[in-house]
Structure 1
Amino acid sequence: MAYTINTPEGTRDRLFAECRERRQVQSALTGLFQRRGYAEVSTPEVEFYDLFLQSGNPLPQERMLKIIDRSGKIMVMRPDCTTPIARVAATKLKALPLPQRLYYDQTVFRSGQEHKGGSSEIAQCGVELIGSAGRKADLEMVALAVDALRSCGLERFHIELGHAGFFRDLAGRVDMPPQVIERMRSLIEGKNFAALNDLLEPYAGQGACRALRRLSRLFGGAEVLDEAEALAGGSAVLVYLRQLYGELCQAGYGDYLRFDLGLVHQIDYYTGVVFRGYVEGAGDAVLSGGRYDKLVEAFGRSAPATGFAVDVDAVADCLPAREPARLEGLIHFGPGALALALAAVDSRAPGTWELSPCDTLEETLALAREKGAREILVLEDGTERRVEV
């Protein structure tokens, strides 16, 4: 009986075109980040579990892949890039002036629900703007998010804007236990309308309850802000979002922007503007980020911050399929002709020519027919000639 070796659940092999498309996305993103003044940092794939406890444990522990080191300490495969970079900014970069513009090209590891088909290893390219608060930093980050998806070659996409403070403001107006607030956050995040209505039923008489019922439905164009104001009354958060939207529209980004005031994020270190990017053809967000002004402080340095991450494979899956390079020919070379043969391969388009490993021309001809090549370049005895297959 044949023995099949599978990859662990949530992982997969990537072959040929998938690798090429992934590199294409990574190259486009990192090139853009460098042009905008961001410098690359890299953090370990394994971190102490305590690091994420210290940061407020933004991810549920069941989503983290854990291992035990020789001393018995619990470690996790990096489930998030922002928290380790916040640690670096607060320690190893503490002597450098703010703001600091950092980018990364790394993999995060998360344990999905069993048999749900999600990925446990997620290639991310992202940026962190450390030490910059306020409107200009938020404008830079949202504009960079749009440009990031454009740089990859995507056309039919949009960025949805929200604000973590809007949910907190509404939740603060309701006399509700913290655990119920977290349950409500999860239902709003998942747009689970029926369960949200049931949860809020005991609080129906309180002022903000109507707005909380509608929160997961407040998504769309700028008219969403009007409805939110009617539901919640005056809100500094909504005024701020209008200001950002106006400036971004003036800069030519308006066609890519929408609103989702139900963006409450299960990663609860966000403190201000939050946003996600969606592409036609992708089942979930391909970009996610926002402002997190308290995270770096958890590691000993007071520094407001904002950033986002792009799911590289999700973006690559949305790109138009490209035909792979077709093998045009083989190079058959004799003794002493290796340098000439390598120069001949390097001078041609990648993937269109290969060196022949065969000792005789007859063997090279047979190999060329098998691989579908059309001709052979023969380099031997100081001469060069072509043989059609």
Structure 2
Amino acid sequence: MKMMNRNPKGCNNIGGAIAANMEYCRGAAMHLFSLYGYHPFSPAEFQLVEDVWSKISPARARRLIPMMSPLGEPCVLRGDLTLSAVAYLGSHHARSERPLRLSYADRVFAVPLPPKYNLEENQVGVELIGWEDSGADAETAGLLLRTLDLLSIERSALVLGDVSVLAGILGGLPESCAGKLIEALQERAYTKYNALLDGFELSEDKTRLLRRLPTLKGDVAVLGEAMGLFDDPSVLMPLKRLCDSLCKLGYAERLRVDLSFVRDLGYYSGPIYNAYSAADGVLLGGGGRYDGLLAKEGIEGQAAGFALNLKELAAHCASPAPAPLMMLWGGGCDNSEALRYADALSKKDTAFELSWTKDREESLSTASLRGYKWWIDLGGRKVTLLPRGGEISLNKFESEVLSC
């Protein structure tokens, strides 16, 4: 009888090579973050509605998944890891302890927007909260690119914008007008965007600048062009400093500037960025500066961070998790003897799988089905070369293969 593997719509069980690669990417990224001084952070699965609802945009709030805790508290499934990190800062660390560097690898939950259908997403990322200077923008964006390099996802691009630029242009507009323009830019609905501009009574200079905004995209040279259009070009300096730093690190060819790129204006408050695979255009993750969120939490200061989608990293990673190449058969020897040999291999960072069946042929057959290269009879100290079936001594195998 075939067992049914059913999940709620929008939920998946992930196994096999993708799960192995996700774990590989998670471990590699978290280790890299630790080298930069980021400390692991494990957030609660539930978030109180009152702690979340007013701190994100209405559009994002509508996508949260509500639930009631066993104690009767109105909650949502965790929809934002940054909110959890900032709340942790506020309740566990004094101002004198900043800056605080946190890293995480966990899930977030939200009602998906088409064409996506998953309710949950595995993320890995960092938060740098209470930083001192513009170098932190470069640290977090550079660390994102460094993570992609580590995972051999070098065919990627970072699209950068700055929400403070758009906020400055829209300053003075009625909130309803500004909100509609922002929504059109987020949807990349430029016909709608221009039609909205036709219906608003704006100054000639502001209208001209807003019409040009969606065209101000390309390589970092776009910033020079944009500075000639602004009465106060200093508004572009945080983004320019970030781009200059990333160019000096050798990432110039992977940078794209888009001044119409926007996220929640009350949450983000400076340079923002998204990372994409250059191979197929898939969004890998993103981040930016979110001083506005700190202010909503009653915390003075500045913060930046990013999150990457672990499943997309696993799918695009060119250095997949190492798979076992051998099966160790312990059915022909004492259990402790097999475990001692396995322990010695693990200390050499060599992957394997143990087989405990007493049936030699069954173990060999399983190793073949798994696609292993070698089957090792620890009791007889023989190695079968799969799939062709030749045999050599374990001593020869160790000297010619394991010593490499």
Same fold (TM over 0.5): yes
% identical aligned pairs:
27
Between 293-302 and 122-131, the greater mean CA deviation after superposition: 293-302
CA distance in 1, matches of 2:308, 2:373: 41
- 1:187 pairs, out of 172, 184, 188, with 184
Q: Which residue of 1 aligns with 2:222?
A: 224
Q: Which residue of 2 aligns with 1:142?
A: 141
Q: Which residue of 1 aligns with 2:60?
A: 60
1:6 CA displacement: 2.5
Q: Match of 1:161, as an amino acid?
A: L
Go from structure 1 to structure 2 and tell me whether the alpha carbon gap of 1:284 and 1:340 turns closer, same or farther (over 3 Å shift).
same
1:343 CA displacement: 3.0
1:121 CA displacement: 1.2
1:215 CA displacement: 2.1
CA contact (8 A) 1:377 1:387 kept: yes
What TM-score, normalized to structure 1? 0.87
SS in 2 for 1:271: coil
CA contact (8 A) 1:329 1:353 kept: yes
Go from structure 1 to structure 2 and tell me whether the alpha carbon gap of 1:48 and 1:322 turns closer, same or farther (over 3 Å shift).
closer
1:332 CA displacement: 4.3
Mark the runs of 5 or more structure 1 residues left unpaired by the alignment.
none
**Within the alignment, does 1:169 sit opposite 2:174 as a pair?**
no
Q: Which residue of 2 aligns with 1:214?
A: 212
Per-residue CA shift, 1:131-183, capped at 9, x if unaligned? 1143222222222222122122111112122111110111115x4x3123122
Q: Which residue of 1 aligns with 2:237?
A: 239
CA distance in 2, matches of 1:356, 1:133: 57
CA distance in 2, matches of 1:135, 1:242: 11
CA distance in 2, matches of 1:158, 1:371: 37
CA distance in 2, matches of 1:145, 1:126: 8
Q: Match of 2:167, as an amino acid?
A: R
SS in 1 for 2:291: coil
CA distance in 1, matches of 2:321, 2:135: 42
Go from structure 1 to structure 2 and tell me whether the alpha carbon gap of 1:73 and 1:16 turns closer, same or farther (over 3 Å shift).
same
CA distance in 2, matches of 1:364, 1:242: 61
Q: Which residue of 2 aligns with 1:343?
A: 340
1:271 CA displacement: 0.8
Q: Which residue of 2 aligns with 1:78?
A: 78
CA distance in 2, matches of 1:236, 1:19: 46
SS in 2 for 1:167: helix
Mark the runs of 5 or more structure 2 residues left unpaired by the alignment.
390-404
CA contact (8 A) 1:331 1:378 kept: yes
CA distance in 1, matches of 2:159, 2:373: 51
CA distance in 2, matches of 1:353, 1:3: 26
Go from structure 1 to structure 2 and tell me whether the alpha carbon gap of 1:178 and 1:97 turns closer, same or farther (over 3 Å shift).
same
More helix per residue: 1 or 2? 2
SS in 2 for 1:294: helix
Aligned length: 382
RMSD: 2.9
Alignment of 1:285-300 (within 5 A): 285-300=283-298
What TM-score, normalized to structure 2? 0.84
Q: Which residue of 1 aligns with 2:152?
A: 153
1:112 CA displacement: 0.9
CA distance in 1, matches of 2:170, 2:245: 29
**Within the alignment, does 1:309 sit opposite 2:310 as a pair?**
no
Q: Which residue of 1 aligns with 2:200?
A: 203
CA distance in 2, matches of 1:189, 1:334: 64
CA contact (8 A) 1:162 1:261 kept: yes
Between 8-17 and 204-213, the greater mean CA deviation after superposition: 204-213
Q: Which residue of 2 aligns with 1:104?
A: 104
CA contact (8 A) 1:99 1:132 kept: yes
1:306 CA displacement: 1.1
Between 126-135 and 78-87, the greater mean CA deviation after superposition: 126-135
1:330 CA displacement: 4.9
